[in-house]
Amino acid sequence: MQKNNVQTDRPLKPLLLGLAGYGTVGSGLARILDENREAIRRRAGRDIRIKSVLVRDPSRPRQYPLPEGASFCTEMSCLYDDPELDVVVELIGGVVNAGEVIRRSLLAGKHVVTANKALLAEDGKDLFQLAAEKGLYLGYEASVCGGIPVVQTLRESLAANRIVTLSGILNGTCNYILSSMTSKGMSFDAALKEAQDQGFAEADPTLDIEGFDAAHKLALLIRLAWGIHYPFKDLPVSGISRVAAEDIQFAREFGYNIKLLGYAQMEGDTLDAGVFPFLVPNSYLLAKVGYSYNAVRIEGNAVGSVFLHGRGAGDMPTGSAVAADILAIARGDQPNNLGFCGAELPAAKIRPPKESRSRYYFRLQVQDKPGVMRDVAAILAENNISIHQALQKGLTDVVPLMFMTHLAKTRDVENALASIAACGFTRAEPVYYRVLPQPNESD
Ligand SMILES: NC(=O)c1ccc[n+]([C@@H]2O[C@H](COP(=O)([O-])OP(=O)(O)OC[C@H]3O[C@@H](n4cnc5c(N)ncnc54)[C@H](OP(=O)(O)O)[C@@H]3O)[C@@H](O)[C@H]2O)c1
C-alpha cells in the first residue's frame, strides 16, 4: 500500500474499502464518508471509497443508499479475494462468520477494521497475533463504547502512564434501564419494556442485561490499559436483572446511584476486575451519566483522572469511530493495534474474585422481632465485616434492613450472608452490591 504523505501535495490513489455488513453501523459509516468527504480528504490526503458491500439479502431496504460506485455481494470471498481492496471493514457481528472474514482478510494482506467486541474479547488473541505477524492494522475503536475515543486514549494519549484504575458505564441498555428506574421509580420489568419500545434494548436483551456485553468491552479495555490478557471466560460478571426498585431507592437515601460498571484495579502486579452493579456516590460524574450514554473514568499515575463521556452506540457515533480507524490507515499510520510491543501479551495475574475487597451494601428482608439486629451484627463481626451505616424501614412484620459496610472480602460477605440466611429470620434472599471505591481508598 502507498505510504502516508499528508505533508506533501502528491495525490495518493483512493483507499478502497470492502464492507462486511450494511446494517446500522455499515450504513452510518457510508453516510459519514459521503457527507464528510471533503473534510476526510483533507485529513487523509486521499479519497476513501467503498467498493464492495457483503450482505445476506441485497434486496432489503437500506437505511442509507449504497454509495456511488459500490455494489452488493453475498459471498465473503468478494472481500478477501479482491486484490483491489486495501481494507476490509467487518460490521456483520457474531463470532463465527465475522472471525472468518477478519482472518482471511488478514491472511490476504488486507488491513481490517471492526466494531466487534464479542469476537475480539473471546477470540481476539489469535487475530491480534496474526495482524502483528503480517504487519497489518486491526482497528477496533468502535468496539468499545461506540463513539467514545477510549481505545486511542489508552493506546496513545495515556501511553506514558501506569494505569491504576478504570471504571466505566459500558452498556447503554443497562444504563437506560437503571436511569429510568432511578428517575421515574419504575420496576426493572417496566424500565426494560420502555427501553425496548424506545429502541434502546434488543428483543432478546440477555447479552446486555446480564452484563456480558459490558464484560466484552472490559476485557478489551484491560488489554489496552495494562497490556495483559485476561481470558473473557474468567471475568466475574453480574448483570442488572435482579436490581429491585427498592434498592435504587434505599441507595439514594444513602447518597448513591446504582450503575452497572466494568471495573478494574491494578494493585502491585495483580488485577482485580469484573462487571457488577455498583453503588456510585451521587456526587461522582459516573453517577450522573444518564440513559443511553456511556462513560469511562481512567486513573493514570501521571495524568490523574480522565473522564470520557459520549454516545456508546448508534449508526453515526459508531460509524465515526470506524471511520477514524480507516483514516489512520489512509494516512499510512504504522499499526499499533494493542499499544504494547510483541505479538503476544502476557497472561494477567488475577486476584481470585472471592479475595476481592470492596465496601458493600446489603439488604435483608427480616422478621421484625427482638434480637435480629443483634444476631446480624454478630454474624457480620464474626466474618470480619464492620458496619458503616444501618437503616431499617417500615412497621410491618417483615421489614427491609440495609447496611453499608467498610471494606470487606467477597468471601467473607458471601459466608456472612449464608449464615444470616440460615438463622431463619430472613424472608427473601439477601441482596448485596459493591460500593465504588473513592480514589486511594484503603479502609
Ligand atoms: N449498532 C450499534 O450501535 C453498535 C455499536 C457498537 C458496536 N456495534 C457492533 O457493530 C457490528 C454491527 O452491528 P450493527 O448494529 O450494524 O448490525 P446490524 O444492523 O444487524 O447489521 C448487520 C449487517 O451484517 C449483514 N450480515 C450479517 N450476517 C451476515 C452474513 N453471515 N453474511 C453476510 N452478511 C451478513 C446483514 O446483512 P442483511 O442486511 O442482508 O441482513 C447486515 O447488513 C456488531 O459487531 C456490533 O456488536 C454496533
Q: Compute how many other C-beta atoms are within 10 angstroms of the C-beta atom of residue 387.
A: 14
pLDDT of residue 123: 87
Measuring CA to CA, how many Å separate 207 from each of 149, 182, 196, 254, 375? 23, 22, 14, 30, 39
Q: How far is the CA of 101 from the centre of ligand 1 (A)?
A: 13
Tens-level pLDDT at each residue, the chain (443 residues): 444 445 555 678 999 999 999 999 999 999 999 999 999 999 999 999 999 999 999 999 999 999 999 999 999 999 999 999 999 999 999 999 999 999 999 999 999 999 999 999 998 999 999 999 999 999 999 999 999 999 999 999 999 999 999 999 999 999 999 999 999 999 999 999 999 999 999 999 999 999 999 999 999 999 999 999 999 999 999 999 999 999 999 999 999 999 999 999 999 999 999 999 999 999 999 999 999 999 999 999 999 999 999 999 999 999 999 999 999 999 999 999 999 997 789 999 999 999 999 999 999 999 988 999 999 999 999 999 999 999 988 778 899 999 999 999 999 999 999 999 999 999 999 999 999 987 655 44
pLDDT of residue 8: 56
**Ligand 1 environment, Cβ below 6 A:** 21-26, 54-57, 60, 91-93, 97, 115-116, 142, 146, 313-314, 318
Q: What is the dihedral of CA 382, 387, 390, 396, to 10 degrees?
A: -10
The C-alpha cell at 200 is 434502546
- Burial of 75 per CB tally in 10 Å (0-12, 13-18, 19+): exposed
The C-alpha cell at 330 is 489512509
Q: Could you tell me the domains of the chain?
A: 15-147+325-331 (3.40.50.720), 150-301 (3.30.360.10), 353-435 (3.30.70.260)
Q: How far is the CA of 318 from the centre of ligand 1 (A)?
A: 12
Q: Which atom of ligand 1 is nearest to the CA of 92?
A: 24
Reply yes or no on whether 217 is catalytic: yes
230-232-233 Cα angle (round to 5): 120
**Helix orientation angle between 37-44 and 24-35, rounded to the nearest 10 degrees:** 80
What is the bridge-based pairing of β-strands 398-405 and 357-367? antiparallel
Q: How far is the CA of 375 from the centre of ligand 1 (A)?
A: 54
Q: Look at residues 296, 221, 233, 211 and name the one whose alpha carbon lies nearest to residue 266.
A: 221
Q: Which of 3, 217, 349, 409 is catalytic?
A: 217
CA distance 152 to 169: 18
pLDDT of residue 9: 58
CA distance 229 to 350: 10
Q: Which atom of ligand 1 is nearest to the CA of 27?
A: 16
Best residue among 56, 57, 117 to mutate for probing ligand 1, ranked by most atoms within 8 Å of CB:
56
**CA torsion through residues 401, 402, 406, 411, sign:** positive
Q: How far is the CA of 91 from the centre of ligand 1 (A)?
A: 5
Q: Look at residues 102, 100, 75 and name the one whose alpha carbon lies nearest to residue 90.
A: 102
